[in-house]
A and B are shown apart, each in its own frame.
Chain A
Amino acid sequence: MKLKLHVWRQKDRDSEGQMVSYDANHVSPDMSFLEMLDVVNQELVERGEEPIHFDHDCREGICGMCSLVINGSPHGPEKSTTTCQLHMRKFNDGDEIYIEPWRAKAFPVIKDLMVDRSALDRIIQEGGYISVNTGNAPDAHAIPIGKPIADEAFEAAACIGCGACIASCKNASAMLFVSAKVAQLAMLPQGQAERKTRVQNMVNQMDEEGFGSCTNQSECEAVCPKEINVKYIAEMNKEYRKASLG
Chain B
Amino acid sequence: MKLESKVPSGDVAQKWDKHRFEMKLVNPANKRKFRVIVVGSGLAGASATATMAELGYDIDCFCYQDSPRRAHSIAAQGGINAAKNYQNDGDSVYRLFYDTVKGGDFRSREANVYRLAQVSTNIIDQCVAQGVPFAREYGGYLANRSFGGALVSRTFYARGQTGQQLLLGAYGALSRQIKAGKVNMHTRYEMMDLVLVDGHAKGIIARNLLTGEITRHVADAVVLATGGYGNVFYLSTNAMGCNVTAAYRAYKRGAGFANPCYTQIHPTCIPVSGDHQSKLTLMSESLRNDGRVWVPKMAGDERRPRDIPEDERDYYLERRYPSFGNLVPRDVASRAAKLECDAGRGVGPGGRGVFLDFRDSINRLGQQAVSERYGNLFDMYERITDDNPYETPMRIYPAVHYTMGGLWVDYNLMSNVPGLHVVGEANFSDHGANRLGASALMQGLADGYFVLPYTIGQYFASHNQVDISTDHQAFRDAEAETRERVNKYLSINGKRSVDSFHRELGKIMWENCGMARNAEGMQKAIDEIPALREEFHENVKVTGTGDNINMELEKAGRVADFLEFGELFARDGINREESCGGHFREEYQTEEGEAVRNDEDFCHAAVWEFQGLDKVPLRHKEELEFENVKLATRSYK
Binding site for B on A (CB under 8 A): 11-12, 28, 30-32, 34-36, 38-39, 42, 44-46, 48-51, 53, 55-65, 78, 80-81, 85-87, 89, 110-111, 114, 116-118, 120-121, 124-126, 128-141, 143-147, 150-151, 153-154, 157-158, 160-161, 184-185, 188, 190-191
- Pair A118/B176 contact, Cβ less than 8 Å: no
In the assembled complex, which residues on chain B have CB atoms less than 8 Å from the CB atom of A57?
65, 70, 72, 239-241
CA distance A165 to B65 in the complex (A): 20
CA distance A116 to B71 in the complex (A): 17
Q: How far is the CB of B172 from the nearest CB of chain A, in Å? A: 3
B26, CB-defined interface residue at 8 Å: no
- Pair B125/A138 contact, Cβ less than 8 Å: yes
| Among B68, B176, B237, contact of A129 (Cβ-Cβ < 8 Å) | B176
- Pair B137/A147 contact, Cβ less than 8 Å: yes
Q: How far is the CB of B353 from the nearest CB of chain A, in Å? A: 14
For B140, the closest partner residue in chain A by CB is A144
Mark out the residues of chain B between 146 and 188 whose CB falls within 8 Å of any chain A CB in the assembled complex: 158-159, 161, 163-165, 168-169, 171-173, 175-176, 178-179, 185, 187
CA distance A10 to B341 in the complex (A): 48
In the assembled complex, which residues on chain A have CB atoms less than 8 Å from the CB atom of B531?
none
For A160, the closest partner residue in chain B by CB is B164
Most chain B beta carbons < 10 A, residue from A58, A141, A154: A58
Q: How far is the CB of A145 from the nearest CB of chain B, in Å? A: 5
Mark out the residues of chain B between 539 and 575 whose CB falls within 8 Å of any chain A CB in the assembled complex: 541, 543-544, 548-552
B129, CB-defined interface residue at 8 Å: yes
- Pair A158/B161 contact, Cβ less than 8 Å: yes
- Give me 17 other A-B pairs in contact (C-beta within 8 A), A46-B495, A60-B380, A81-B383 excluded: A34-B278, A45-B497, A51-B543, A53-B551, A57-B240, A60-B281, A64-B67, A87-B383, A110-B549, A114-B549, A125-B178, A128-B175, A130-B130, A137-B122, A137-B126, A146-B140, A150-B133
In the assembled complex, which residues on chain A have CB atoms less than 8 Å from the CB atom of B497?
42, 45-46
- Known A53-B551, A81-B383: A35·B126 in contact at CB below 8 Å: no
Q: Report 5 cross-chain contacts, Cβ distance below 8 Å, ordered by A residue.
A: A45-B498, A121-B67, A121-B187, A124-B175, A144-B140
Q: Per-position contact with A for B178-209: 1 when CB-CB < 8 Å, else 0? A: 11000001010000000000000000000000
| Among B179, B543, B549, contact of A125 (Cβ-Cβ < 8 Å) | B179
B405, CB-defined interface residue at 8 Å: no
Cβ-closest 8 pairs across A and B: A129-B172, A144-B140, A137-B129, A137-B125, A154-B133, A150-B136, A153-B133, A140-B128
In the assembled complex, which residues on chain A have CB atoms less than 8 Å from the CB atom of B551?
51, 53
For B449, the closest partner residue in chain A by CB is A134
B14, CB-defined interface residue at 8 Å: no
- Known A121-B175, A154-B159: A130·B70 in contact at CB below 8 Å: no
In the assembled complex, which residues on chain A have CB atoms less than 8 Å from the CB atom of B274?
28, 30-31
In the assembled complex, which residues on chain A have CB atoms less than 8 Å from the CB atom of B237?
60
Binding site for A on B (CB under 8 A): 47, 50-51, 54, 65-72, 74-75, 84, 86, 122, 124-142, 158-159, 161, 163-165, 168-169, 171-173, 175-176, 178-179, 185, 187, 210, 237, 239-241, 273-274, 276-279, 281-282, 379-380, 383-384, 386, 449-450, 453, 495, 497-500, 541, 543-544, 548-552
CA distance A64 to B74 in the complex (A): 10
Q: How far is the CB of A215 from the nearest CB of chain B, in Å? A: 27
Q: How far is the CB of B265 from the nearest CB of chain A, in Å? A: 18
Q: How far is the CB of A239 from the nearest CB of chain B, in Å? A: 15
For B500, the closest partner residue in chain A by CB is A42
In the assembled complex, which residues on chain A have CB atoms less than 8 Å from the CB atom of B543?
44-45, 48-51
In the assembled complex, which residues on chain B have CB atoms less than 8 Å from the CB atom of A140?
84, 124-125, 127-128, 142
CA distance A36 to B70 in the complex (A): 23
- Known A49-B543, A131-B176, A157-B133: A63·B142 in contact at CB below 8 Å: no
For A30, the closest partner residue in chain B by CB is B273
Q: Does more than half of chain A's interface fall in helix, strand or loop, or is it mixed?
A: loop
CA distance A65 to B68 in the complex (A): 11
For B50, the closest partner residue in chain A by CB is A134
For B158, the closest partner residue in chain A by CB is A154
- Known A134-B173, A137-B126: A87·B136 in contact at CB below 8 Å: no
Q: How far is the CB of A71 from the nearest CB of chain B, in Å? A: 18
- Pair A190/B128 contact, Cβ less than 8 Å: yes
CA distance A153 to B178 in the complex (A): 25
In the assembled complex, which residues on chain B have CB atoms less than 8 Å from the CB atom of A138?
125, 129
- Pair A28/B69 contact, Cβ less than 8 Å: no
CA distance A147 to B129 in the complex (A): 17
In the assembled complex, which residues on chain A have CB atoms less than 8 Å from the CB atom of B136?
145-147, 150-151
CA distance A104 to B450 in the complex (A): 41
CA distance A131 to B126 in the complex (A): 11
In the assembled complex, which residues on chain B have CB atoms less than 8 Å from the CB atom of A110?
210, 549
Q: How far is the CB of B501 from the nearest CB of chain A, in Å? A: 12
- Pair B173/A150 contact, Cβ less than 8 Å: no
- Known A35-B277, A45-B543, A157-B165: A129·B130 in contact at CB below 8 Å: yes
- Pair A39/B140 contact, Cβ less than 8 Å: no
In the assembled complex, which residues on chain B have CB atoms less than 8 Å from the CB atom of A160?
164
| Among A49, A65, A111, contact of B70 (Cβ-Cβ < 8 Å) | A65
- Pair B128/A128 contact, Cβ less than 8 Å: no
In the assembled complex, which residues on chain A have CB atoms less than 8 Å from the CB atom of B173?
129, 132, 134
For B70, the closest partner residue in chain A by CB is A63
- Pair B140/A145 contact, Cβ less than 8 Å: yes
In the assembled complex, which residues on chain A have CB atoms less than 8 Å from the CB atom of B276?
28, 30-31, 35-36, 38-39
In the assembled complex, which residues on chain B have CB atoms less than 8 Å from the CB atom of A114?
549
In the assembled complex, which residues on chain A have CB atoms less than 8 Å from the CB atom of B544?
50
- Pair A141/B70 contact, Cβ less than 8 Å: no
In the assembled complex, which residues on chain A have CB atoms less than 8 Å from the CB atom of B67?
64, 117-118, 120-121, 161
Q: How far is the CB of B233 from the nearest CB of chain A, in Å? A: 15
- Pair A56/B541 contact, Cβ less than 8 Å: no
- Known A57-B239, A140-B124, A154-B165: A184·B140 in contact at CB below 8 Å: no
- Pair B168/A38 contact, Cβ less than 8 Å: no
For A132, the closest partner residue in chain B by CB is B129
- Pair B130/A59 contact, Cβ less than 8 Å: no
In the assembled complex, which residues on chain A have CB atoms less than 8 Å from the CB atom of B499?
38, 42, 45
